[in-house]
Amino acid sequence: MNASVPTEITHQVSSACSVIGRHLASSLQAIHLFGSAVDGGLKPHSDIDLLVTVSAPLTEAVRHALLKELLSVSTWPMTRESLRPLEVTVVVRDAVVPWRYPPSRELQFGEWLRGEMEAGHVQPAIVDPDLTILLAKARRHSICLLGEPATDLFDPVPRTDLARAFYDTALQWNEPADWRGDERTVVLALARIWFSLSTGGIAPKDVAAQWVIERLPDEHQSIMRSARASYLGETQDDLARRGPEVAAFVHCARTAIERMYLEWQSGNPAAR
């Protein structure tokens, strides 16, 4: 196991890689650790992000078996001292290399899907604009646990496609039903999108949140401060009880994001 893997998650990462290896051995090409574990530091609610690359689509039997066993090495945030939530994304390399937008995701595992997975429901391979952002993050900061480094395995993501992915991702949040039960995640995701479209960088959630707080109208700062503080484990997450404030922030953020994207697009003919 790479010595750069944070000590506190070494055992869990090793267990997850063993599970992945058992089920995907015939087609497994690479496993990369990315996200907070390698960029910004793990926070109390941070997932362990793994990007898994395979050479061929997965059979239904493999999908079900892999997800079922991953459930045993993952847990909801801050419920078991020795485990963190896993977020595992599987891609077929030929589906993303050569690069084209939007990319296709083969499989995703995450604690927010636990109920569906325990009920036997498994998402199929889908087109996923957010995978654009994930691959860009993995190329910038990741630890290669198996196979080639991400910079060798994947093509660079063009700035035009990355901006479009940020915009397309923000468009999925239109009304309270779209973020109910996941308020903090959506608020922080919008902060990161806002930061990235404005600066061209990709920042950890708490860094992007602080950057946005400094630019928000006064009436929206409280929601962002609360989201950031609860993510850092400083306070309890109370966003679910503040529906009107969350909705107002989402509207504000989306308006800013749409304006930035359209302004950026108008100055970049290749983006049209």
Catalytic residues, by residue number, are 87
The answer, yes or no, to whether the previous bond of 85 is cis (omega within 30 of 0) is no
- Name the DSSP class of 9: G
Question: Taking the alpha carbons of 95, 100, 104, 109 in that order, is the dihedral positive or negative?
Answer: positive
For the purposes of burial, counting CB atoms within 10 Å of the CB of 41, is it exposed (0-12), middle (13-18) or buried (19 or more)?
A: exposed
Answer whether 104's CB lies under 8 Å from 127's CB.
yes
Answer whether 186's CB lies under 8 Å from 251's CB.
no
Nearest alpha-carbon partner for 106 in 161, 154, 51, 156: 51
Helix (H) or strand (E) holding 55: none
Q: What's the rounded Cα separation, in Å, for the pair 174 and 179?
A: 9
Give me the phi and psi of 19, to 5 degrees please: -60, -50
